[in-house]
Amino acid sequence: MNLPNQITIGRLILAVIFCALLSNYDLRTHARQAWMLDLCLWIFIIAALSDIVDGYLARRKNQVTSFGRIIDPFVDKVLICSAFILLAGSNFVNEKGESVTGIEAWMVVVVIAREMLVSSLRAASEADGKAYAALAWGKLKMFVQSVTVPWVLLSLTAATGPRWHAARTGWIWATLIVTVVSVFPYLSAARGVLSERRRA
């Protein structure tokens, strides 16, 4: 259990705390629970930054392990997918039945479907003995998502105006576009496995 893996485990703990806080927030009692969103904001930022740190240390110290290669992307998915699921939930719906976060259920489906597909492609490729490393598009996707979630959280707690909310909408759509587009390089990387014929 080297330092990069310890950081990854720490990030998993932060992700669990993030989920617990966000799932217990209720828009109807925002005045008393606004601190939860503030805390979630900082937990998410710290968790996202630690992902950069553990990856850098693992490469710098030549401490890339199978444990890290499996758990690190798993933690990323827990953090991102849970954020989008919870921000699209009923806890963030106002009296008019509208989501105050700008994130809709179908958007969450897109994010989760992409993660499931890429994970399946990685599993199939590696089971076939072929390396399937993270691509630049995947890292860009993670970056955009990691900006979008704090932006949404901040729009719920700070005195932000129409421009901030317009930018929030832009980040959400950027997330969706990059999430979808990022699938194609992974499909291309796995084309050998996808084109193989299996015996019945």
Report the alpha-carbon distance of residue 132 to residue 117 in Å, rounded.
Answer: 13
The total number of residues shown for the chain amounts to 200
What per-residue confidence (pLDDT) applies to 157? Answer: 83
Q: What is the CATH number of the domain that holds 106?
A: 1.20.120.1760
Domain of 165, in residue numbers: 3-189
What per-residue confidence (pLDDT) applies to 133? Answer: 62
What per-residue confidence (pLDDT) applies to 96? Answer: 85
Q: Within a domain: residue 74?
A: yes
Contact criterion met (CB below 8 Å) for 190 and 121: yes
Q: Within a domain: residue 198?
A: no
What per-residue confidence (pLDDT) applies to 125? Answer: 74
What per-residue confidence (pLDDT) applies to 134? Answer: 66
What per-residue confidence (pLDDT) applies to 15? Answer: 95
What per-residue confidence (pLDDT) applies to 130? Answer: 66
Report the alpha-carbon distance of residue 10 to residue 153 in Å, rounded.
Answer: 22
Q: Within a domain: residue 107?
A: yes
The whole model's pTM is what? 0.87
Helix (H, G, I), strand (E, B) or coil at 196: coil
Contact criterion met (CB below 8 Å) for 152 and 100: no
Q: Within a domain: residue 100?
A: yes
What per-residue confidence (pLDDT) applies to 12? Answer: 94
Q: Within a domain: residue 199?
A: no
Contact criterion met (CB below 8 Å) for 99 and 92: yes
Q: Within a domain: residue 200?
A: no
Average pLDDT per run of 10 along the chain, which is 200 residues long?
Answer: 87 95 91 91 94 83 78 90 94 87 94 91 73 75 94 85 88 95 85 64
The conformation of residue 99, written as its DSSP 8-state character, comes to B
Total domains, the chain = 1
Which two tokens mark 119?
């994970």
Q: Within a domain: residue 196?
A: no
Rounded alpha-carbon distances, angstroms, from residue 105 to 59, 60, 82, 93, 97: 37, 40, 12, 12, 13
